[in-house]
Structure 1
Amino acid sequence: VHKGHMEQHMRSHTGEKPFQCSKCDKCFAQKVHLDQHLRTHTQEKPFHCSHCEKCFTQKGNLERHERMHTGERPYQCNHCEKAFIQKGDWLVHQRIHSGEKPYACSDCGKCFARKGELVNHQRLHTGERPYQCDHCGKRFSAGKRLARHLKTHIGEESYLCSHCGKSYSTSSNLRKHLKAQLGKGIHQDEG
């Protein structure tokens, strides 16, 4: 093992961070990480996308971005057919198969696979509703709830009944419709 690599590795155990930023005093264990950090101060973006005009401060960010253009999905799930552009998305997806839910609510103990799901859930306890509709002012605890609500304003109704052709803006409204149809003797085969 190269001496420099061994020194870097040993810092992971000792917590030593000898490379200090001259702009903000933040410290790093490796010089390469300091160099990457310095670009946040200089706004230098030396990594250019060959498909569009975007530029990036880090090579890894460019590589991830370019996969959007190429469609490359190098992170394949071993349990199903899904593949991912980013390793982080693949890791979170693995929790579907493992059942792992590492994020627990401190108020009620309910567990979640994603940190964002926990944050949204905790807003139910706090009453926080940071997402506001620009059309009517109604507030929501989660962005996806606002997005669903916005469909009611723009008339986008994406939940279609296969029996009669009626469309609804939410899956719950479609389910209510299907239950009513079921009461009329129509068989329910969706939902």
Structure 2
Amino acid sequence: YPCAVCHRSYVTLSSLKRHSNVHSWRRQYPCRFCDKVFALAEYRTKHELWHTGERRYQCALCGDAFLTYYSLKSHQKGAHG
């Protein structure tokens, strides 16, 4: 299901509908730390992690923690093969 505005593709129609809020003018979830406002609460929550430095993704092999899932996977591939 491609987005008509930005052309990103989604696996389900419900995901596309949720994404469409990003392009609406109804941005109702302000960041508690800066002036950014988000269309979805989950986007705001992920953004706020950059302000707090909270590291939610922990490596099961060594215990190091990371801000993003991508960073964790990159670490695991590089450090643990």
Provide Cα deviations, 1:120-150, integer angstroms capped at 9, x if missing partner. xxxxxxxxxxxxxxxxxxxxxxxxxxxxxxx
Distance 2:47 2:29 in 1: 11
Partner of 1:29: 12
Provide Cα deviations, 1:22-76, integer angstroms capped at 9, x if missing partner. xx29775242x23322224324322211122111233222112111222211111
CA contact (8 A) 1:67 1:85 kept: yes
Q: 1:80 to 1:98 in 2, by over 3 A?
A: closer
Structure 2: runs of 5+ lacking an equivalent: none
Please tell me whether Structure 1 or Structure 2 has the larger radius of gyration of its CA atoms: 1
RMSD between aligned residues: 2.8
Q: Does 1:62 align with 2:44?
A: yes
TM-score (norm 2): 0.66
Distance 1:91 1:35 in 2: 29
CA contact (8 A) 2:22 2:38 kept: no
Question: What is the aligned counterpart of 1:38 among 20, 44, 60?
Answer: 20
Distance 2:33 2:18 in 1: 23
Q: Does 1:77 align with 2:79?
A: no
Code of the aligned partner of 1:29: T
Q: How far 1:95 moved relative to its partner? A: 0.5
TM-score (norm 1): 0.33
If asked which structure has higher relative contact order (CA below 8 Å, sep 6+), I would say 2
Aligned pairs, number: 78
